[in-house]
Amino acid sequence: MSKDTHVDVPHNTVGATGESGRVEAEGARAGESSGGAMAVLRTSAGRNLGLVVALVVICVVGTVTAGERFADVDNVLTILKLASVIGVVSIGMTFVITGGGIDLSVGAIVALSSVWCTTLATQTMAEDTHWIVMVLAALAVGAGCGLVNGVLIAYGNIVSFIATLAMLASARGLAELMSDRKTQIVRIESFKDFFGAEVLGIPVLVIIFAVVAAAGWVLLNRTTFGRRTLAVGGNPEAARLAGINVKQHTVMLYVLVGVCCGIAAIMLISRTTTGSSTHGNLYELDAIAAVVIGGTLLSGGRGTIVGTVFGVLIFTTLGNVFTLNNQDTSTQAVAKGLIIVVAVLLQQRLASRSNTA
Amino acid sequence: MTTHESLLRMSGIVKEFPGVKALGGVDLDVRAGEVHCLLGQNGAGKSTLIKILSASYQPDAGVIHWDGVETSLPTPISAIKVGISTIYQELDLVPGLTVAENVFLGHEQSVAGFSQRSQSNQMVRDLMTRLGHSEISPTRLVGSLSPAGQQIVSMARALSHDTRLLILDEPSAVLDHEEVDNLFRVIRGLTAEGVAVVYISHRLEEIRQIGDRITVLKDGITVATGLEVADTSTATLIQLMTGRSIEYVFPPRPEVAPERGPVVLEAKGLSLAGVFETMDLTVHAGEIVGLTGLVGAGRSEILETVYGARRATTGTVTVDGTRIRKGSVPAAVRAGIGLAPEERKSQGLLLDQAVYRNVTISSLGRFARGGFLDSAAERRRAEELTTSLDVRPTGVTRAVRTLSGGNQQKVVLARWLLRDCRVLLLDEPTRGVDVGARSEIYQLIRSLADAGVAVVVVSSEVEEVLGLSDRVVVVREGAVVHEAPATDLDEARVLDLVMEGRVA
């Protein structure tokens, strides 16, 4: 990713646009303002630097407190595998939030996709043909739920918060009905073999996350779709009057996050070898938290995939360090909450400065 | 009960916004018990002045004397405390609360945190009686009242604060004839009690009916103050309002009459229910048509309907003979129409994004291959355009927010230049643009027309409409009242048409 240094460089010499929504003037203002740490943090390279520092600090704490058990290749791979599933969901969430919306239903869509893709019927069909059927089923369910969300929001004029809250309730309910609240075991060995494999020592799940993140970065920063997402999230009325089909674009954003949920469902099925209506519980909160501490504006118009990846890694690594130190999940939850508050307070200060400047 | 002591005296009030001097030295003195009318064209600085009076804005220079004592009003609450209340055009009531709750919003009658409902209801009943509207019950929901009723609630709220100066910003805009008479009765009642009223209206006949004295603003400066209504003729007032204090340089009109060019934009039988009536609009290649009228007369709505941003109730729009799908902005843009909206910041621009992104947003397709953008090409093209339009400061990766109003407008125009528009709809193209940049924008618009673009300009500034356009269309209350070549009209005639709907 790019390296806009945020000094006031002559406009025509920069080749890089770097992360989206970021502009040179921001850096110029940062230079003018009081200086010091805040000024550095106001630049997006600086913001990412803050995330790197946070991650490094957590790693150092992990190494000091848990020693070998933390700084171990297997443990690092475990962290990455855990991060992968929520990571893919968070990439999708980054788009929706950048586009000015929110999706509370991601966890429920993951659950429904995982159940649908592991029903007896789907698995039988997969047995007769190929395991790819299961993948397609999960993706289709995810996309379908996203389509419903998007249409309700864009054409039904329902606030995204409400529409996806309704989807949260009904998708998980539907998952419970379909599975009869029973855990569905995956019988297809070829499916488990494929997704459980490693390539050059790297788990396939981690590779999938890397590919999704890279594709997400390109999509947000290098395509018309990404540019329109920033426009729609930054100022929907201006986007509409500039000739962008805002409604259609909104639908596409929710389909996109739905597909990400489908991918995440497959990854989760492979990690647990089960499909269940309890899968993906509270993913919406984890994903939103990762996106927000990564630096994407909750109000839309500015998004960063790199930040989101760091956000996911920070939370997952933190959880791992707590677990290795035998701290219960309650303590983890408290720490998570504190991190979110600090990150958002910081973000607000940055945002208010850029507004008054 | 007019006394000759000033209740309020403002002198030398200056207020500047980035790039624009909204007020350049305004004087106003208001006496207790009088109705003081504030007059001026759109953009003359009336709204800014009221906002300073209600302490929403702080003046950059000038002195305010209240009751003979020099006073500063640092916060809106301090203005209310000394007894200044403002009733804005957009009423600031909470529709889901009752009349009494709205009246005492922010200063609830309570004992130990418990609201004293019967007491406040009684107080509201007294206020309503004082206003001559005892039929409005304190327990009624404000949302269920008519606009006139809501205005009365606003006035009751003002009076609940021991108001000594009441500012009414175009109070009659939302009222019908009978309601206006009621309003005047209420105002007379208040002045008889010694309350001073600052009354803002575009309607000259109302000022004759209710006003005692008049202050006229023009381009942010007081051009006349303390005129007795009885001694001042309408002609004098119009003269004062239009009297030139700044000369704008308008580009010369082409020698060949532009009507000879082919018809580019044609709107037939266009209407929008409840906003404007059936109208036709034809614009030829190379022609600039000026659309003028009061705020709320339906000018912006006409543009937005032509552009597809509002779905026309009836009628068709064609560009170069091709009919455009109704209510679709993308279709209008594809057909070659461009719009520079009235609210540049909230409707026209992505403020936090780079200049080049604002320029290319409507033409992303031409910089993309398979959906992938060639940013370097985008910046290059935006660079060429903004250089030719002389956008300053230069630098296409700079956030649009950092530019002045005039330069922001040029960025919007660059967006449509990039698309080689056939039709350009400009809504208040020079609002918030300083004097120097105005001439540049006029020049630019004329050169676009010379290149064969059909241009429609909406403006409340009569001078601008007359100076810039080839043909002028006057709208009043959603209907076209007059259409003529600009050279056949003068400012007084247009003002008459705009305000009265006829030539006096």
Mutation for testing the A interface, residue in B344, B363, B364, B413 having most A CBs under 10 Å: B364
**B352/A354 touch (CB, cutoff 8 Å), yes or no:** yes
CA distance B241 to B37: 13
A240 vs B329, B399, B402: nearest CB: B329
- What confidence tens digit (pLDDT) does each residue in A249-259 have? 999 999 999 99
- Class of residue A199 by CB neighbours under 10 A (exposed 0-12, middle 13-18, buried 19+): exposed
Establish if B314 belongs to a structural domain: yes
Alpha helices in B347-490 (DSSP H): 355-360, 375-388, 405-418, 435-450, 462-468
Q: What angle do CA A40, A45, A51 make, to 5 degrees?
A: 90
Domain that holds residue B355: 349-420
Regarding whether B169 and B87 lie in a shared domain, the answer is: yes
**What confidence tens digit (pLDDT) does each residue in A237-293 have?**
999 999 999 999 999 999 999 999 999 999 999 999 999 999 999 999 999 999 998
Mutation test of the interface with chain A: which of B339, B352, B387, choosing the one with the most A Cβ atoms within 10 A?
B352
Q: Which two tokens stand for residue A282?
A: 């509270």
Find, among A123, A119, A141, the residue nearest to A131 by Cα.
A123
- Between B332, B333, B364, which is nearest A224 by CB? B364
- Measured on CA atoms in the order B268, B272, B276, B278, is the torsion positive or negative? positive
CA distance A295 to A305: 9
Which residues make beta-bridge pairs with B6? B31
Are B297 and B195 in the same domain?
A: no
Nearest to B398 among A23, A224, A231 (CB): A23
Cβ–Cβ contact A240 with B under 8 A: yes
- Lookup: tokens for A207: 């590779």
Residues of chain B under the 50 pLDDT cut = 1-2, 245, 504
Other residues' Cβ atoms within 10 Å of the Cβ of residue B165: 23
For residue A193, give how far its alpha carbon lies from the nearest alpha carbon of chain B (Å).
Answer: 35
Residues B170, B38 share a domain: yes
Q: Do A238 and B357 touch (CB under 8 A)?
A: no
Residue B117 included in any domain = yes
Partnered with residue B84 across adjacent β-strands are B165
Predicted pLDDT of residue B151: 86
pLDDT of residue A5: 37
Report the alpha-carbon distance of residue B28 to residue B411 in Å, rounded.
Answer: 38
* B474-477 CB contacts, 8 Å cutoff, 24+ apart: B474/B292, B474/B293, B474/B498, B475/B276, B475/B291, B475/B292, B475/B293, B475/B297, B475/B298, B475/B299, B475/B302, B476/B293, B476/B294, B476/B297, B476/B501, B477/B297, B477/B298, B477/B501
Instruction: Say which of A237, A242, A243 has its CB closest to residue B346.
Output: A237
- Asked if B54 and B186 sit in the same domain, the reply is yes
What's the pLDDT score for residue A113?
96
Give the mean model confidence (pLDDT) for residues A80-85. Answer: 94
A210–chain B nearest CA distance, Å: 20
ipTM of the complex: 0.78
Binary contact (A26, B399; C-beta < 8 A): yes
- Whether B307 has its CB under 8 Å from any CB of chain A: the answer is yes
**Do B368 and B305 share a structural domain?**
no
> Within chain A, where are the H helices?
24-32, 36-42, 44-66, 73-98, 106-117, 120-128, 132-154, 160-179, 189-196, 204-222, 224-234, 236-241, 246-272, 283-294, 305-324, 329-356
Contact A224 B394 (CB under 8 A): no
Asked if residue B342 belongs to a domain, the reply is no
Q: Give pLDDT, residue B462.
A: 83
Peptide bond into B393 cis (omega under 30): yes
By C-alpha distance, the chain A residue nearest B360 is A242
Chain B residues in contact with A233 (beta carbon < 8 A): none
A231 close to A134: Cβ distance less than 8 angstroms: no
Distance in Å from the first CA to the final CA of chain B? 34
Residue B373 bridge partners (DSSP): B368
In the sheet where B20-31 sits, what is the strand order? Answer: B20-31, B6-17, B61-66, B69-71
User: How many whole angstroms separate alpha carbon A350 and alpha carbon B488?
Assistant: 55
* SS3 call for B110: strand
The verdict on A225 touching B (C-beta cutoff 8 Å) is: yes
pLDDT tens digits for range A98-153: 999 999 999 999 999 999 999 888 888 888 888 999 999 999 999 999 999 999 99
**Residues A193-215: tens digit of each pLDDT:** 899 888 998 999 999 999 999 99
Backbone φ and ψ for A156, nearest 5 degrees, come out as -90, -5
Q: Is B394 on the interface with A (CB under 8 A)?
A: yes
Token pair listed for A117: 């893709």
Q: Which of residues 337-376 of B touch A (CB under 8 A)?
A: 339, 341, 346-354, 357, 361-362, 364-365, 368, 371-373, 375-376
Quick one: B320 exposed, middle or buried, by C-beta within 10 A (0-12, 13-18, 19+)?
middle
Contacts of A239 in chain B (CB under 8 A): 350, 361
Does the CA dihedral A105-A107-A108-A110 come out positive or negative?
positive
Report the C-alpha gap between A328 and B341 in whole angstroms. Answer: 57
Radius of gyration of chain B, Cα coordinates, nearest whole angstrom: 25
Q: Are B97 and B175 in contact (CB under 8 A)?
A: no
Q: With b meaning 16 or more CB within 10 Å and e meaning fewer, what string describes B82-113?
A: bbbbbbbeebebeeeebbbbbbbeeeebeeee
| Mutate which: B310, B347, B397, B417, vs A, most A CBs within 10 A | B397
Decide if B391 contacts B407 (C-beta within 8 A): yes
Task: Identify the CATH number of the domain in which residue B114 sits.
Answer: 3.40.50.300
pLDDT score at A339 = 84
**DSSP label of B98:** B
Q: Is B1 a member of any domain?
A: no
Locus of tokens 């299961």 = A134
Neighbours of A327 (CB within 10 A): 15
In contact, B164 and B3? CB cutoff 8 Å? no
**Contact between chains at A24 and B395 (C-beta distance less than 8 A):** yes
Q: Which pLDDT score is estimated for B30?
A: 93
What pLDDT shows up at residue A28? 39
Total domain count, chain B: 3
**Domain-terminating residue out of B216, B242, B268:** B242
Does any CB of chain B come closer than 8 Å to the CB of residue A223?
yes
Interface contact B387, partner A, CB < 8 A: no
CA distance A20 to A16: 11
Please list the residues that pair with B213 across neighbouring strands. Answer: B36, B228
CB contact under 8 A, A11 and B368: no
Same domain, B96 and B146: yes
Q: Is A36 left (phi over 0), alpha (psi -120 to 50) or beta?
A: left
| Rg (chain A; Cα; Å) | 21
- List chain A residues with CB under 8 Å of B415: 242
CA angle, A30 then A35 then A41, to 5° = 60
| Spatial separation of the C-alpha atoms in residues B170 and B219, rounded to whole Å | 19
Residue A341 has pLDDT above 90, yes or no: no
Give the per-residue pLDDT at A11: 39
Question: Listing from the earlier edge strand, what are the strands of the sheet with B276-284?
Answer: B276-284, B263-272, B314-319, B322-323
Distance of alpha carbon B417 from alpha carbon B379, whole angstroms: 15
pLDDT in tens, A2-47: 434 343 333 333 334 445 544 433 333 333 344 455 555 555 555 6
Distance of alpha carbon B356 from alpha carbon B351, whole angstroms: 12
Q: Buried (b) or exposed (e) across B385-414, using 16+ Cβ within 10 A? A: bbeebebeeebbbbbbbbbbbbbbbbbbbb
Claim: this prediction has a pTM higher than 0.80: no
Topology classification of domain A72-346: ABC transporter involved in vitamin B12 uptake, BtuC (1.10.3470)
Between the CA of residue A112 and those of A86, A101, A109, A176, A181, what are the distances in Å?
16, 22, 5, 8, 12
B205 with B305, same domain: the answer is no
In chain A, where the domains are located: 72-346
Same domain, B198 and B309: no
Q: Identify the domain boundary among B223, B242, B261.
A: B242
In a domain, B309, yes or no: yes
Establish if A284 touches chain B: CB-CB under 8 angstroms: no
Instruction: Check: CB of residue A106 under 8 Å from CB of residue A307.
Output: no
A227 and chain B: CB distance < 8 Å anywhere? yes
Count the neighbouring beta carbons within 10 Å of the beta carbon of residue B77.
Answer: 11
Q: Identify the closest residue of chain B to A225 by CA–CA distance.
A: B371
Give the best residue of A8, A9, A11, A43 to mutate against chain B (max B CB count within 10 A): A11
Q: Does A353 touch chain B (CB under 8 A)?
A: no
Query: Which residues, including other chains, have CB under 8 Å from residue A353's CB and lie 6 or more apart?
Result: A29, A33, A38, A42
> B225 with B79, same domain?
yes
Q: Which residue has the tokens 């266009």?
A: B270
Contacts of A129 (CB under 8 A, 6+ apart): none
Residue B341 lies in a domain: no
